[in-house]
Chain A
Amino acid sequence: MSALTAILETAAPTALETRVVEIGGMPIALRTSSAKFAGMLQDRYAGFVTTQSAPGDAVRIRFEIELNDSAAGTLGPDADEPEGEDDLQVAFASGLWRMSRGDFSAEWDPATGQGTIRQALNPYSLDSVLRIVHSLVLARRGEFLVHAASAIRNGRAFLFAGVSGAGKTTISRLAPADATLLTDEISYVRKSATGYDAHGTPFAGELARLGAHCCAPLAALYLLRQGPENRIEEIDSAAATQALLRNILFFAHDAELVQAVFEGACAFVQRVPVRQLTFRKDASVWELLV
């Protein structure tokens, strides 16, 4: 190789790879100079990712991803998913949302939709940023991400909410063959012309399986509890609202958005039946869900 060729190769601009991850009908374009990271995105989000940009006006949120392996506390590609969000900071100042945790930092301008993420080569940091950005956008619309498994059966979606250990993955495993699993961990709830829809997400729990990229009208939200027998109980509106609020993913300490989340939860409870579901660990529980 001649010296001239070597200089030209060094000076050549780095090719940027773009992937569009669409969850809940909200596409987010991610641009990276790392082919390896782009490949990781492709694997991580599978049915939710495309390599082609959607029509210009459809993608309103775009992030540049800067990989930085030198930062203290960053995760490598083989690291386990971080547990908890104790050190997560999300705050709005000077027109920017700033998000940071030990393994990433990011800014996002909601006015232009543009943002930057600095992280190491791992899928978990981006996962967190996507959840945060989705939750910020949804909050103003009375929509939300919620700690819940969800599935579609006979054209209707069911949500199963609960903290870790309540049985989200268990009830997902027990789902009959004709059910379409939307997620076993984090569900996506949006308003529709007639009520609310549940959308599939790539945010998987212990099942480690991506949800289906589809949606259906939401028939009910069940608050999970494991017990010796299958039983469905009605609960009052206040208890339903409180339980829903406890499970909604929301990271920002922002009074206006907290108010919006509260209003969104109240509106949801007035439209969608919320019930307590006690279930035992066998497939018979699904016979109750008709």
Chain B
Amino acid sequence: MKRELQRVEIPGEYDARRRTWEVVRAAYAEREPVSWPRRHARELALAAAAVAVVAAAVTPPGRSVVNSIRDAVGREKVVGVRNAQRDLVRLPARGRLLVQTPRGAWVVQRDGSRRLLGSYRHASWSPRGKFVAGVLHGRTLVALEPDGTVRWEKPHRQRLALPRWSFEGFRIAYFAGSTLRVIVGNGTGDRSLGPGDPGVAPAWKPQTHEVAYVDVEGDVRIADADRRGLLRRISQREPVRSLEWSSDGRLLLVIRTQSVTAYTPSGKARASVAQWGLGISGASFRPNSHEFAFAFRERFRAGRSTVCLSGRGAGCLQHIFEGAASFRSLTWSPDGNWLAIGWPAADQLVFVRVGRPPKLDAVSNVSRQFLSRTFPGIAGWSR
């Protein structure tokens, strides 16, 4: 077999080798051999920059430091974080990323290797990252392993959207047309839960089979999926964009276009961020915490956005990151130490360590790395 594989003739192999060597040698010539302190200068500089970012939340002088090191805005293109890596060669924390592009869903391993699972949309991780649920060609619900092996699939007559796993993986809630349905995690026992808004993903309350979703009137409902009974209805004045439970299930984050509110399961507002800038572009609970990160477009600094940490009341407790245009796909690492921020205008994925010591890491050319013309979305960071 080895002989056969070695005998396969590859057209133009010699020229390919010559061309590649020229490119590799040129890339090598651009780099300088470095001593240890210089070899680690980038990490040290990034750590210093991140310290300054955090300091800016506290002091006006700190903010001026941030302004001096922050991303530059070109006339036509956002430059993004300087010295960003050109390739996603490793994730800064344990776990795997699930990335969604128009071409399909990708899994990124800790070492940065990427795998296109197939042309699945609306992909989401199962709670322990053992499976991925997705929608194939709009009308087939699929559960697959992270290497792309399909475990089961269920075709449907209606258009499907936004499958989401319950805490232990025994249930999946998804939309078929504008009806919220629940299916057992092994692909059996599919049944309707009622009409809802198929533009907002359902959110399972941890340790229960209670699911929060947005109904056709735009209000938030919490229902028991097994008994098919309504537990709570929380009225909304503003369109809801997404829902997320805290890890302990004691708070439900309702993210709207202009505000974010954390509710108790009984519907009482516990923390709120409202009238921040020109609108909220995303928010996410920090794992094992009641703090949440939120991104908003600045009102008084045109064309800029900021990511803040909030919780225990209201407002911005800690300034995490800022830059031109807008951010999206705020996603926490499973250990809650790193926040991944999608920055479409700069085509960068930024990782900020929110714990101590602070650190900043960024990757550029993100769209190209996922063979996409548009900026990919982060669909989750699994354990």
Query: Are A and B physically bound partners?
Result: no
